[in-house]
A = this chain, B = another copy of it.
Amino acid sequence: MTLQSAAAPDVGVPVHEQVYRQLRERILFGGFLPGKAVTLRGLAEELGVSAMPVREAVRRLIAENALELHGNRRVSIPDVCGKIIDEIWSARRLLEVELASEALENLNEKDIQVLQDIDDQIDVALKTGDVEGYMRGNYEFHFYLYSRSRSEILIKLVKNLWVQFGPFMRLIYGRSGTANLEDRHKQALEALKSRDQNALTEALEADIAQGMGFIRESLSLADKT
């Protein structure tokens, strides 16, 4: 049982680890609908592996907030209500502003170039209406920046926040399209180039607030139905 799909370095990697990575990506970038119920057998069959590796991967994903475990032992894709969303966003603001500030101190020219390249890819995705491409680019931009902070522990905590709203964001973007998505990364890039921490914080908060705004809007629409 090898689960070879792409040109990934899956040699020597346990199946449960491969399953974990695959499921996490799908959750993070919207391969599942929020609230969708999943079963061990179902996932195992879908991925073409036995139940055992799926069990370990799912157990891990639950611990990372990427899956929800209910009292009746059933598992589902996270479906965040308004209260939880507020919590996630306030946590994001707290942690990501801190990470960006720390990152700014270690940032060199090469890093800025990398971020510039990612932003270019985001532009392409926005122009072509590639929702998943935008989400991947957005993720890469944020976490490449944060990786410069060398605060591995904080980064892991923030990743465990992102997986919670991934499915939901995809749903929203899928409905509204990428047209009215403003690219806040350019503002952040300018701040990075000029080493302006206040401007960076401002850009980041605007970026986070934009996502929050989308979700609030969508939730209030959903409430009316």
Residue ranges of A at the interface with B (Cβ–Cβ < 8 Å): 14, 55-56, 59-60, 62-65, 73, 84, 87-88, 90-91, 94-95, 98, 151-154, 156-157, 160-161, 164
Highest count of chain B CB atoms <10 Å: which of A59, A84, A94 = A59
Find out whether the CB atom of B91 lies under 8 angstroms from the CB atom of A153.
Answer: yes
Question: Lowest 8 CB-CB distances: which A-B pairs, in order?
Answer: A63-B63, A60-B63, A87-B153, A157-B157, A59-B59, A56-B59, A59-B60, A63-B64
Task: For residue A94, give the distance in angstroms from its CB to the closest CB of chain B.
Answer: 6
Residues of B contacting A91 in the complex (Cβ-Cβ under 8 angstroms): 151, 153-154, 157
Contact A98/B87 with A60-B62, A63-B63, A160-B157 known, Cβ cut-off 8 Å: no
Find out whether the CB atom of A153 lies under 8 angstroms from the CB atom of B88.
Answer: yes
A13 to B195, CA, bound (A): 53
Residues of B contacting A56 in the complex (Cβ-Cβ under 8 angstroms): 55-56, 59
Contact A94/B98 with A59-B60, A62-B60 known, Cβ cut-off 8 Å: yes
Find out whether the CB atom of B154 lies under 8 angstroms from the CB atom of A87.
Answer: yes
Residues of B contacting A90 in the complex (Cβ-Cβ under 8 angstroms): 151
Residues of B contacting A152 in the complex (Cβ-Cβ under 8 angstroms): 84, 87
Task: For residue A102, give the distance in angstroms from its CB to the closest CB of chain B.
Answer: 9
Task: For residue A167, give the distance in angstroms from its CB to the closest CB of chain B.
Answer: 16
Residues of B contacting A87 in the complex (Cβ-Cβ under 8 angstroms): 151-154
Task: For residue A45, give the distance in angstroms from its CB to the closest CB of chain B.
Answer: 21
